[in-house]
Structure 1
């Protein structure tokens, strides 16, 4: 009988590394816009330094205030993996610190995405290693379990499946399903190029804004030739 809640799945369905790498430098807003503005991790989960995040999700579901399964994930993850930790948004106990981050970096792990806290935040700022989390607290974790590795987890309100593509920058984190990744990437890059052309048009003074009035007309906006105060006093 399976020990549900205390299991380690040893196999991870990783997407092609070239596909993952193709997302490097693509802004997260462009990616999110082409997923109908879903799959964006809660804004409370922020970068702890200036490092951008890109990699394959290696997931861990952990009990709050505990990092035993997180430690096991450090030894199992492969270069290019982002270790994604679900601790139910716990903001009491940190679940990792500088030692684990340095060890992960040495092994080629691409970063940590944690729905919880870290500590040693000053050191994190100096490390060339991507860490996104809810904040910092000196109170450390225990090592009792239970937990699971390589199962779907909830991170910042987004379900992250093992093998999903994780992209993080200064705006936040988006989670890309591998089966849709190629199409999303194509659209996101096209949007990025379109925006570059808009920037050029703005500088040239030729940016067409007629779409705003057109859309308002279609939605039947009402124009009132009065101030709000006059209108409410019946002065029209």
Structure 2
């Protein structure tokens, strides 16, 4: 019998906080956190993939998904399972059966620092799954693992209760303590980008900032 440590869960974000992130792209969210937060290489496995929800974190031994099954039992509707499998891509941690069960539990999505499989079936299922790689090799089920501890997903720290935002560009996690600040900044950024798009379409985008940021030296042609 293998050890599974389960940590207390925070209350998590309210519906109003989640609603603010529902339409915010990952690019605007990460830009609003000084472009320092993200999980490079952890990408969606299916088209039209978007997820927003509170994280339920899982730390599992690379190549093993026993504790992930337990986390699926404990997850609340709307949760995003965030699985730290050490970045190992040799064996799939999730596949069709586990993802079907997650869907039956109304889990919103899965973010995995590791590999997944059964991509065709996942596409039919429609569950947002973000992973580092694809591997047909199945997982072991020996444990050990932890649920609810802070984890690292491709260098991005995620704690249970943080808000996970995922789309075609990847995933980003917003710390629970900074939801309002990040959402406000991202909303302002989108308004500024909309103004820039309008200026581009009108042919009057002010590009003076480029030369103002560069020390340019022009060389004269030596051709006679």
Match for 1:174 among 165, 172, 175? 172
- Cα deviation, residue 54, structure 1: 0.8
- Cα deviation, residue 11, structure 1: 2.7
Give TM-score scaled by structure 1 length.
0.89
User: Would the aligned equivalents of 2:9 and 2:160 in 1 still touch at CA under 8 Å?
Assistant: no
Match for 1:223 among 200, 208, 217? 217
Distance in structure 2 (CA, Å) of the matches to 1:201 and 1:119 = 44
- Cα deviation, residue 53, structure 1: 1.4
Distance in structure 2 (CA, Å) of the matches to 1:192 and 1:222 = 31
Q: Which deviates further from its counterpart, 150-159 or 204-213?
A: 204-213
User: Would the aligned equivalents of 1:60 and 1:83 in 2 still touch at CA under 8 Å?
Assistant: yes
Distance in structure 2 (CA, Å) of the matches to 1:143 and 1:99 = 14
- Measured on the aligned residues, the alpha-carbon RMSD in Å equals 1.7
**Following TM superposition, where does structure 1 have runs of at least 4 consecutive aligned residues deviating by more than 6 angstroms?**
none
SS in 1 for 2:21: coil
Distance in structure 1 (CA, Å) of the matches to 2:104 and 2:110 = 14
User: Would the aligned equivalents of 2:58 and 2:151 in 1 still touch at CA under 8 Å?
Assistant: yes
Residues 199-221 of structure 1: CA distance to partner in whole angstroms, max 9, x if unpaired?
A: 111111111111111222xxxx1
Residue 161 of structure 1: aligned partner: 159
User: Would the aligned equivalents of 2:9 and 2:161 in 1 still touch at CA under 8 Å?
Assistant: no
SS in 2 for 1:95: strand
Match for 1:107 among 105, 108, 117? 105
User: Would the aligned equivalents of 1:12 and 1:150 in 2 still touch at CA under 8 Å?
Assistant: no
Residue 123 of structure 1: aligned partner: 121
Distance in structure 2 (CA, Å) of the matches to 1:21 and 1:83 = 19
Query: For the pair shown, which has the larger CA radius of gyration, 1 or 2?
Result: 1
Distance in structure 1 (CA, Å) of the matches to 2:9 and 2:161 = 10
Q: Which deviates further from its counterpart, 107-116 or 117-126?
A: 117-126
Distance in structure 2 (CA, Å) of the matches to 1:157 and 1:95 = 19
Distance in structure 2 (CA, Å) of the matches to 1:27 and 1:41 = 15
Give TM-score scaled by structure 2 length.
0.93
Structure 2 gaps of 5+ residues are none
Alignment partner of 1:136 is 2:134: yes
Residue 203 of structure 2: aligned partner: 205
Match for 1:193 among 180, 191, 194? 191
Residues 93-130 of structure 1: CA distance to partner in whole angstroms, max 9, x if unpaired?
A: 10111111111112111100000011111111222210
